[in-house]
Structure 1
Amino acid sequence: MSGDNVVLARSTENAPVSPLYSQTVAFSHYNNLSMQLPLDPSTGALVAGGIREQAEQCFENIQAIVESIDHRMTDVVRITVFVTDIKDVDVVDDVYRACFPTYVPARTVVAVAALPMNAPVAVEALVSNGEGTIPNAPQAGDLVKYVNNTDAAPLCDLSSQTVAFSHYNNLSAQLPIDPQSGQIVPGGIKEQTAQCLKNVKAILNSIDVPFDDIVKVTVFVRDISDLEAVDEVYSTFFPDSGIARAVAYVPARTVVEVADLPLHALVQIEAVVSHGDGTPPQAVEDRHGLIIEANNTDNAPKNPLATQSVAFSHYNNVSAQLPLDPKTGELVEGGVGEQAEQCLRNIKAIIESVGHRMEDAVKVNIFLANIGDLDAVNDVYRTFFQNGTPARRVVGTSALPYGALVQIDAIFGNAEGTPPVA
């Protein structure tokens, strides 16, 4: 593994520019794009019109960014759509179809409580980076993108169940749908959580990937008070194997309350999974038996259902951090500024415990109980990311675990990679 991968941040004037974040940050074989609002890049204001015009602008901004780095929309691996009214998804889907007429990426759709600038829609993309980011080194510029679907999990003509590129499988968020009936399973939150995870497992089984190869899980729930019931089911799926149980391995995790979900489901689960053999062509020594490196430190809050940092290949996936004092396990005193600072301190402690720095961040996701607190959070954010390098997402959620005002997760580059099994 090379130790000189670089974090490559880029922006174009053809999409909205911000001093707080970069439009796209590439590391190794992925480009991580910032969430795009329906902003006119020439004015920085929301475009006129309704949900259709605003969705079109989001995708136009994504296309401008993708093309500015010499990529194409068919290089998109995952799309995440945020709306503030779930009823708007049908119109957004019409726009989406025009952007992806043949190939469809993995996809997640959620309705959130609020978006910056009171936008009704925002769209985010993860894009392949075939050439990689090792300076002056020959790399595989023709890596293959693997798309897979199985009848054992719900099928959708707007998304692929899993899209693999390089050393990661990116799964579409799974709703609690019975793949045979195409309907939400009967029962409450426990039954729906179990079905989501069964669907994830079915997809992984179809590509011969163990369930314990999951490195990051995001749980979207409509009611944060259901989390205890979700966790009860979740703990029966993780760890999945004897080896994982022996080391108590659980993936990194983020939990978010959302305003609504497709089909008005109670829960939806998204997973990012290791792909140890990579997608060809890759050198033999880079393809087999890469290790998942899970790490916890006493300098950040611990959770028995989430590992603080899970590294695989060239990425560290950090669990969402709440503003908890790691010594007491309690929320820190003060307002949203103090809470945002504690979240970022926890992230800093985690990433430094594995020999990395905040400058290695490629993507930061901020979840706010009150979107009106964004200016105060930005004041703190600037002190941790002075160069505005990471790509970024900001969404409003009506509630967070522990009644927190803010929650932050992040993805970091892992320059040295993770070694193959000896």
Structure 2
Amino acid sequence: MNNCIIKNSRNTNSAPKNHLSTQTVAFSHYNNISAQLPLDPKTGNIVIGGIKEQAKQCLSNIKSIVESIGHVMDDLVKINIFVKEIEDIKIIDEIYTSFFDNSLPTRTVVAVAALPISDALVQMDALLSNGEGTTPQKPCALLKVSRNTVDAPLMNESTQTVAFSHYNNLSAQLPIDPLTGKLIDGGVEEQTKQCFNNIKAILKSIGHVTADIVKTTIYVKNIRDVDTVNDICNQFFYDYIPARTIVKATDLPMEALVQIDAVVSHGDGTPPQLPEDSRFIVIEASNTEKAPKSSYSHTVAFSHYNHLSGQLPIIPETGKIISDNITEQTEQCFNNIKSIIESVEHVMDDIVKVNIQLKNIDDLDIVNEIYVQYFKNALPARTIIGVSSIPMRALIQVDAVVSNCEGTPPQNKCYKLT
């Protein structure tokens, strides 16, 4: 579409470059940072050492990107950490907090089957606050608001929810009893309910409800639990079901069976935005017959972003996987995304972030050849992980975050903060 607020894509030589993604893509009041591998930007090689050295390099690369656009690490609102071995998070935490001076970002930690470089043990991506906005928005000294409640599990390495402008980003919630700090008894059904009860407690503590959620990412230990998890999750929503992506985790912290994180609309904004906005800015959930039907929304827009559900290589007319060929499956995933985006009058170049799951990480070269054909201008920020299985035995799943310059009512197309 004819953008009014302009997407700002940037790279720096101080961090590793990848011709298939942009290091950071800013739109309105957020920057989306591509997943950073433990690569030395000077050599392009993985740093020497073990998990501690690799984690430090990932964080140093993120820091270099953040500083290259005039920000600091304390401007981060969310970090996702993908590890090969879940136990490595204990070592990562030895250096993690040293990169921040004040309140910590929200965080998700998950073990995955593979990373884009075979010798990598860890990969991290991030979401950054962007108070200055992007052209033609006027810079505004928006405040980042970090909050915790004792009614949900407290973690030393993360904040439960961090609000900035019109979004709250929650730390992924495990099925932990906040009173004991331990996993609850029971199977995946009980654990899923506990994850959502923790999310509800966090939202209640900041004056929000589950209906304010725009996107959930659900990490499951066993792919066969997907139907059960979906059934439980849908019980927590009434008027609409937020966008959703299911990710198969090799392992989760505390040996949990499920972990859920959420992106939440925050109509009241953060100071100095006016609280009255909460009565007017609305969530717009959309579906199209040109993409596969599911029990959750294809895309949910709020303010200046659209969040898309994970798309499988399903033919919309039949509801079946297109084939067992990675080329055809990749094309179908991106055709489904394209159909959703076009149904809300956007184009593929409005995407700011793409997340790709691959059953076989060796398929990445084929995926990349197809991927670049869907964009005409600067490529989005991107994260790729390898997983041991994907719903419906697919070889690939893709989701995306899309810029939404027109905003949602009552925001005008060139909405500016003054």
Whether the TM-score (by the shorter chain) exceeds 0.5 is yes
* Residue identity opposite 2:293 in structure 1: K
Is the counterpart of residue 192 in structure 1 residue 209 in structure 2?
A: no
1:37-186 equivalences in 2 (<5 Å): 37-118=37-118, 119-135=120-136, 137-140=137-140, 142-186=141-185
Structure 1: how far apart are the matches of 2:367 and 2:44?
A: 20
* Residue identity opposite 2:157 in structure 1: L
TM-score w.r.t. the length of structure 2 is 0.96
* Residue identity opposite 1:104 in structure 2: L
Q: Secondary structure at the match of 2:320?
A: coil
Structure 1: how far apart are the matches of 2:236 and 2:95?
A: 37
Match of 2:331 in 1: 341
Match of 1:319 in 2: 309
Residue 302 of structure 1, CA deviation: 1.2
Contact 2:74 2:101 in 1 (8 A): no
Decide which of 348, 356, 361 is 1:358's aligned counterpart: 348
Structure 2: how far apart are the matches of 1:323 and 1:185?
A: 35
Match of 1:281 in 2: 272
Any stretches of 5+ residues in structure 1 without a counterpart? none
Q: Secondary structure at the match of 1:408?
A: strand
* Residue identity opposite 1:61 in structure 2: N
Residue 282 of structure 1, CA deviation: 2.5
Structure 2: how far apart are the matches of 1:169 and 1:25?
A: 19
Match of 1:228 in 2: 227
* Residue identity opposite 2:187 in structure 1: G
* Residue identity opposite 1:58 in structure 2: C
Query: How big is each residue's C-alpha offset from its partner over 1:142-170, in whole Å with a ceiling of 9 and x where there is no partner?
Result: 10111110010000111100000000000
Worse-matched range after superposition: 223-232 or 4-13: 223-232
Structure 2: how far apart are the matches of 1:3 and 1:289?
A: 23
Residue 236 of structure 1, CA deviation: 1.6
Query: How big is each residue's C-alpha offset from its partner over 1:323-361, in whole Å with a ceiling of 9 and x where there is no partner?
Result: 000000000025111101100000000010001000100
Contact 1:47 1:54 in 2 (8 A): yes
Q: CA RMSD in A?
A: 1.6
Query: How big is each residue's C-alpha offset from its partner over 1:245-269, in whole Å with a ceiling of 9 and x where there is no partner?
Result: xxxx100000000100000100000
Match of 2:414 in 1: none
Structure 2: how far apart are the matches of 1:203 and 1:24?
A: 29
* Residue identity opposite 1:234 in structure 2: C
Residue 100 of structure 1, CA deviation: 2.1
Contact 2:79 2:108 in 1 (8 A): yes
Contact 2:168 2:266 in 1 (8 A): yes
Any stretches of 5+ residues in structure 2 without a counterpart? 412-418
* Residue identity opposite 1:363 in structure 2: K
Residue 287 of structure 1, CA deviation: 5.7
Contact 1:288 1:420 in 2 (8 A): no
Is the counterpart of residue 415 in structure 1 residue 405 in structure 2?
A: yes
Structure 1: how far apart are the matches of 2:159 and 2:11?
A: 28
Residue 233 of structure 1, CA deviation: 1.3
Is the counterpart of residue 374 in structure 1 residue 361 in structure 2?
A: no
* Residue identity opposite 2:256 in structure 1: A
Structure 2: how far apart are the matches of 1:307 and 1:232?
A: 15
Structure 1: how far apart are the matches of 2:325 and 2:65?
A: 36
Residue 199 of structure 1, CA deviation: 0.2
Residue 87 of structure 1, CA deviation: 1.2
Contact 1:20 1:388 in 2 (8 A): no
Instruction: Return structure 1 stretches of 4+ with deviation > 3 angstroms.
Output: 283-288
Structure 2: how far apart are the matches of 1:51 and 1:411?
A: 30
Residue 388 of structure 1, CA deviation: 4.3
Contact 1:216 1:272 in 2 (8 A): yes
Query: How big is each residue's C-alpha offset from its partner over 1:172-226, in whole Å with a ceiling of 9 and x where there is no partner?
Result: 0000000001000000000000000000000000001121000000000011001
Contact 1:382 1:388 in 2 (8 A): no
Change in Cα spacing, 1:49 to 1:349, as seen in structure 2 (3 Å) is same
Structure 1: how far apart are the matches of 2:277 and 2:180?
A: 41
Structure 2: how far apart are the matches of 1:311 and 1:331?
A: 27
Q: Figure out how many residues of one structure are paired with residues of the other and give that number.
A: 410
Match of 1:295 in 2: 286
Worse-matched range after superposition: 385-394 or 344-353: 385-394
* Residue identity opposite 1:111 in structure 2: A
Contact 1:14 1:61 in 2 (8 A): yes
Structure 2: how far apart are the matches of 1:324 and 1:10?
A: 33
Is the counterpart of residue 34 in structure 1 residue 34 in structure 2?
A: yes
TM-score w.r.t. the length of structure 1 is 0.95
Residue 385 of structure 1, CA deviation: 2.4
